[in-house]
């Protein structure tokens, strides 16, 4: 290679800058006693429906805010606000993920004063969101039954970096070739400590166990 040519690792630099910003954001949220949860999944897996169920279950106990990230529209934020949570819609302008800087902007728009729990609904995507630290204290992803039990094999980074996997839409299990045991086995092979909950955001099945886990995490984090 020509000695006059400089090679700059742009991607590495972007990640390092984002990691520093995420660490600063986490520290600020800790001081404010606001727990940030990053929720990821494919489009249509049921993120917003799960958030609504979570608000219904924990809303009387936790002061909840929600940041809805999407390329366009405000449909999800309107749905969450109707469920009783403070909400803000974040338009990413075509970006397929949120990073710490975008999350910080969203938190400023939402206003964290008096909030115990903020849920970030990340852009629907199983690739990019897994690569960027948003400053969240816990990362959760949803795998819906219609997507298939092999997704941990196809998107290993997502499943290896999250703290919890929620298998949603269990109400349609009889109609799909989805092996619950295989899905859990694949996920645990990548991430032995991952917490797993099978739920139906439509019927409410399994929501109690998921919300109990989340509530404990918030409580333990607040120390």
Give the per-residue pLDDT at 7.
Answer: 52
Q: How do residues 49-63 score in pLDDT, each as one tens digit?
A: 999 999 999 999 999
Establish if 138 belongs to a structural domain.
Answer: yes
Establish if 146 belongs to a structural domain.
Answer: yes
- Say what the pTM is: 0.92
Distance CA 218, CA 171 (A): 28
- Strands (E) in 28-181, as ranges, are 35-41, 64-70, 86-91, 117-121, 138-144, 164-168
CB 133: neighbour CB atoms within 10 A? 20
Contact 145, 178 (CB under 8 A): yes
Average pLDDT over residues 3-13: 59
Establish if 90 belongs to a structural domain.
Answer: yes
Give the per-residue pLDDT at 4.
Answer: 65
Number of domains in the chain: 1
Alpha-carbon separation of residue 218 from 15, 18, 35, 115, 207 (angstroms): 27, 24, 6, 12, 17
Share of the chain above pLDDT 90, in %: 83
Better-predicted residue by pLDDT, 91 or 31: 31
For residue 117, give the DSSP letter: E
Structure tokens at 104: 């910080």
Give the per-residue pLDDT at 95.
Answer: 74
Residues comprising the chain, all counted: 223
Q: Residue 12: is its pLDDT beyond 80?
A: no
The domain that holds 123 is classified in CATH as 3.40.50.300
Give the per-residue pLDDT at 19.
Answer: 94
Q: How do residues 25-50 score in pLDDT, each as one tens digit?
A: 999 999 999 999 999 999 999 999 99
Question: Band of the pLDDT at 1, cuts 50, 70, 90?
Answer: very low
**Mean pLDDT of the residues in the chain:** 92
Q: How do residues 163-215 score in pLDDT, each as one tens digit?
A: 999 999 999 999 999 999 999 999 999 999 999 999 999 999 999 999 999 99
Tell me if residue 189 falls in helix, strand or coil.
helix
Contact 140, 195 (CB under 8 A): no
Q: Which residues pair with 65 in a beta bridge?
A: 86, 118
Give the per-residue pLDDT at 11.
Answer: 56
Share of the chain above pLDDT 70, in %: 92
Question: Band of the pLDDT at 71, cuts 50, 70, 90?
Answer: low
Q: How do residues 104-113 score in pLDDT, each as one tens digit?
A: 999 999 999 9
Establish if 45 belongs to a structural domain.
Answer: yes
Establish if 178 belongs to a structural domain.
Answer: yes
CA 135-71-195 angle, to 5 degrees, is: 45
Establish if 191 belongs to a structural domain.
Answer: yes
Of 148, 88, 96, 146, nearest to 122 by C-alpha is 96
32 lies in which domain range? Answer: 14-222
């Amino acid at each position: 290679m020509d000695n006059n040519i400089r090679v700059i690792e742009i991607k590495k630099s972007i990640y390092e800058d984002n990691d520093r910003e995420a660490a600063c954001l986490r520290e600020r949220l800790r001081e404010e006693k606001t727990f940030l949860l990053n929720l990821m999944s494919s489009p249509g897996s049921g993120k917003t429906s799960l958030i609504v169920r979570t608000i219904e279950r924990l809303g009387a106990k936790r002061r909840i805010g929600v940041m809805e990230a999407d390329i366009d529209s405000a449909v999800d934020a309107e749905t969450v606000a109707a469920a009783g949570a403070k909400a803000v819609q974040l338009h990413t302008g075509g970006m397929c993920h949120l990073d710490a800087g975008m999350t910080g902007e969203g938190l400023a728009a939402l206003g964290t004063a008096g909030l115990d729990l903020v849920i970030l609904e990340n852009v629907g995507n199983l690739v990019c969101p897994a690569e960027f630290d948003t400053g969240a204290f816990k990362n959760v992803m949803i795998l819906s039954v219609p997507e298939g039990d092999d997704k941990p094999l196809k998107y290993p980074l997502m499943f290896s970096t999250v703290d919890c996997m929620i298998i949603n839409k269990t109400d349609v299990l009889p109609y799909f070739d989805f092996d619950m045991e295989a899905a859990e086995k694949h996920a645990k092979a990548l991430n032995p400590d991952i917490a797993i909950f099978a739920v139906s955001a439509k019927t409410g099945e399994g929501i109690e166990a998921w919300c109990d886990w989340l509530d404990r995490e918030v409580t333990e984090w607040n120390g």
